[in-house]
């Protein structure tokens, strides 16, 4: 039951601008929040969402504009001021102390008790009551590092509630959750709303805007591009507002018969991590030409090691790797790449690009010592330059030229440079890890279409992604990776994200 006066405005940000040395991150943005209301801030990466909320939370001073809280103008010089006035924020990256308990984390900085003696018992009791009241079940004595990400998030929310937050800001709260955890979070959010808490939820996911919020503000390049009632707006409209042009949301993937022998096989692969634990624990899989095999899993279940062992970047403890029937287990990375195996790595800054080097240099990275990029002992600069210009055109890389550092490009365009380099070598097998992490809808659309193009050219593709939606929209087969093993195989059309999510967490309910 709602105890809320529907239309009372609890918070207003008026004409907020925030100038950073090089970027105008917010420009004349105004938002209103009503009591017991949930609003979304929707926008692509870099649109200025976190900045706006950090301004609200007292982390940044606005360059212009004002904040009105319960009809009173406020100026926060730190989050402490904001918290005192009833604001709470759960950041994208949690700010918990790993080796302290749930209760200790929650009370940290506002410990109850007199004369420096912390009254842990009453704190623990209060935490337990809060967690029951809002369905935020979590063991008060558990140590943070032993908790799943979903549970850690609950602790962050409890922490804000313990400090009596009446306005709660959640920055991309679902980015780290499994589908089941997302459902649970949404229940909590609704429960909070019913008790009169107002919420601002930052997201770049259109589904979520529709599922959870009453109204949505769309930010683009620091400016507010619109305000909509979520029940009156379609996902397509939202995407167009967010990107500033027409966007195709659904991936058009035609069902394809895949026949023939597999091109890539892993058999009983064991790889140890630095702690000596089996990160891959007897993993077997195969990929056939012309199919996309998607690896679904919660982060940390062996994704990194799987990618590394495929490319020869880590030691194979036991098991074999076959490519086109040949045992390549002992080959170096370079030897594998020369056999037309391409790789779009998950960490594009560490492995994909050298940011201070130019776009042209990055385009031939790893191949610069091969024809046609060398003449004798010299780099064939004109060849490289022309090739790069063609790639920039073919892959729609937005840049003033090919001789500027790759680091000057936006994330989406950096990723396109890697794609251009890896895809244009006519690979027969492609390892693609996290291809769209941190990218905006427009870039994602483009990258997905390019991956499908490679599939239609009969390339065998292994896709590792933490985005279940991406796995579903691209894969012909889905393999669930859990604790270093493939525990289940699905055909996307015959399953649901809930079912896959269930196996991703080891088939256990929380
Ligand atoms: N502390 C900072 N210093 C300088 N620039 C920043 C800072 N924080 C964010 N920016 C820039 O401001 C813009 C908006 O960033 P942000 O608010 O994080 O976007 P979003 O949360 O929508 O992804 C980006 O161009 C970003 O690089
Ligand atoms: Mg952000």
Domains of the chain by residue range: 1-83+198-249, 287-315+328-504
Q: How far is the CA of 408 from the centre of ligand 1 (A)?
A: 15
Burial-class residue 43 by CB neighbours within 10 Å (0-12, 13-18, 19+).
buried
Ligand 1 nearest atom to the CA of residue 222, by list position? 14
Q: How far is the CA of 446 from the centre of ligand 1 (A)?
A: 24
User: Does 287-315+328-504 match 1-83+198-249 at the fold level?
Assistant: yes
Ligand 1 nearest atom to the CA of residue 41, by list position? 22
| pLDDT tens-digit series, residues 55-76 | 999 999 999 999 999 999 999 9
Strands 485-490, 477-482: pairing is antiparallel
What DSSP string runs through 413-437? HHHHHHHHHHHTT--SEEEEESTTT
Q: Cα dist. 338→254, 342, 369, 405, 406 in Å? A: 30, 9, 12, 26, 24
Any ligand 1 atom below 6 A from CB of 46: yes
* pLDDT for 163: 93
Q: What is the pTM of this model?
A: 0.74
CA atoms within 13 A on the CB side of 483: 6
- Tell me which residue has its CA closest to atom 18 in ligand 1: 50
Low-confidence ranges of the chain (pLDDT < 70): 1-6, 112-118, 248-249, 508-510
Say how far apart CA 115 and CA 126 lie, in whole Å: 20
Query: Of the CATH numbers 3.40.50.300, 3.40.50.970, 1.10.10.10, 3.40.50.2020, which one belongs to the domain with range 1-83+198-249?
Result: 3.40.50.300
Decide: 189 and 38 in contact? Cβ < 8 Å: yes
Residues 6 or more apart whose Cβ sits within 8 Å of residue 476:
256, 258, 291, 292, 293, 455, 491, 492
- Tell me which residue has its CA closest to atom 26 in ligand 1: 46
Any ligand 1 atom below 6 A from CB of 54: no
Any ligand 1 atom below 6 A from CB of 29: no
- Residues, beta carbon < 5 Å, ion ligand 2: 50
The alpha helices in 108-205, defined as continuous H runs, are 120-133, 149-162, 179-194
Question: Is the sign of the CA dihedral 141, 145, 151, 152 positive or negative?
Answer: positive
Q: Count of CB atoms within 10 A of residue 175's CB?
A: 17
CATH superfamily ID and name for 287-315+328-504:
P-loop containing nucleotide triphosphate hydrolases (3.40.50.300)
Q: How far is the CA of 304 from the centre of ligand 2 (A)?
A: 24
- On the question of a cis peptide bond just before residue 372, with omega within 30 degrees of 0, the verdict is yes
Q: How far is the CA of 90 from the centre of ligand 2 (A)?
A: 12
Q: How far is the CA of 198 from the centre of ligand 1 (A)?
A: 25
Angle, alpha carbons 171-127-505 (nearest 5°): 55
Closest CA to 28 of 220, 198, 241: 220
Burial-class residue 215 by CB neighbours within 10 Å (0-12, 13-18, 19+).
buried
| pLDDT tens-digit series, residues 251-283 | 777 777 777 889 999 999 999 988 889 999 999
* pLDDT for 2: 47
Closest CA to 453 of 479, 478, 426: 426
Mutating to test ligand 1, I would choose from 25, 27, 89, 90 the residue with most ligand atoms within 8 A of its C-beta, which is 25
Q: What ligand has the least distance to the C-alpha of 43?
A: 1
* pLDDT for 22: 80
Ligand 1 nearest atom to the CA of residue 48, by list position? 17
Decide: 203 and 172 in contact? Cβ < 8 Å: yes
Any ligand 1 atom below 6 A from CB of 23: yes
What angle in degrees, to the nearest 10, is found between the helix axes of 497-504 and 179-194? 110
Ligand 1 nearest atom to the CA of residue 49, by list position? 22
């Amino acid at each position: 039951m709602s105890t809320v006066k529907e239309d009372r405005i609890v918070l207003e940000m008026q004409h907020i601008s925030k100038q950073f040395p090089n970027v105008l991150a917010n420009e004349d943005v105004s938002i209103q929040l009503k009591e017991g209301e949930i609003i979304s801030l929707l926008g692509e990466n870099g649109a200025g969402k976190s900045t706006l909320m950090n301004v609200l939370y007292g982390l940044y001073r606005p360059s212009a504009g004002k904040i009105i809280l319960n009809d009173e103008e406020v100026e926060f010089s730190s989050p402490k001021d904001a918290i005192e006035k009833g604001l709470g924020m759960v950041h994208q990256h949690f700010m918990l102390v790993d080796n302290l308990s749930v209760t200790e984390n929650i009370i940290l900085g506002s410990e109850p008790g007199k004369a420096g003696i912390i009254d842990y018992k009453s704190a623990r009791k209060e935490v337990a009551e809060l967690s029951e009241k809002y369905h935020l079940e979590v063991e008060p004595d558990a140590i943070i590092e032993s908790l799943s990400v979903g549970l850690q998030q609950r602790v962050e929310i409890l922490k804000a509630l313990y400090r009596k937050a009446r306005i709660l800001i959640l920055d991309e709260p679902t980015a780290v959750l499994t589908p089941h955890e997302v459902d649970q979070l949404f229940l909590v959010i609704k429960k909070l709303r019913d008790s009169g808490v107002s919420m601002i939820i930052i997201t770049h996911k259109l589904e979520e805007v529709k599922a959870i919020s009453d109204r949505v503000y769309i930010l683009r390049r620091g400016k507010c591009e619109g305000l909509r009632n979520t029940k009156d707006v379609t996902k397509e409209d939202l995407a167009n507002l967010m990107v500033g042009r027409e966007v195709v949301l659904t991936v058009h993937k035609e069902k394809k018969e895949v026949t023939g022998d597999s091109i890539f096989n892993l058999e009983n692969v064991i790889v140890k991590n630095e702690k000596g634990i089996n990160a891959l624990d007897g993993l077997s899989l195969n990929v056939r030409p012309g199919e996309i095999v998607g690896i679904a899993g919660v982060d940390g279940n062996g994704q990194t090691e799987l990618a590394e062992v495929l490319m020869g970047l880590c030691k194979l403890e036991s098991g074999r790797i076959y490519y086109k029937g040949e045992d390549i287990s002992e080959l170096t990375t370079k030897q594998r790449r020369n056999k037309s195996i391409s790789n779009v790595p998950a960490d594009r800054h560490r492995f994909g690009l050298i940011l201070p080097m130019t776009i042209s240099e990055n385009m031939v990275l790893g191949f610069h010592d091969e024809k046609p990029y060398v003449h004798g002992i010299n780099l064939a600069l004109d060849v490289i330059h022309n090739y790069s210009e063609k790639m920039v055109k073919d892959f729609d890389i937005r840049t003033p030229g090919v001789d500027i550092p790759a680091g000057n490009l936006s994330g989406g365009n950096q990723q396109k440079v890697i794609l251009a380099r890896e895809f244009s070598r006519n690979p027969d097998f492609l390892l693609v890890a996290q291809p769209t992490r941190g990218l905006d809808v427009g870039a994602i659309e483009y990258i997905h279409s390019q991956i499908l193009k490679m599939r239609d050219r009969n390339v065998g593709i292994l896709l590792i992604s933490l985005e279940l939606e991406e796995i579903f929209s691209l894969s012909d087969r889905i393999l669930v990776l859990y604790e270093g093993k493939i525990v289940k195989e699905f055909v996307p059309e015959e399953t649901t994200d809930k079912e896959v999510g269930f196996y991703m967490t080891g088939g256990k309910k929380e």
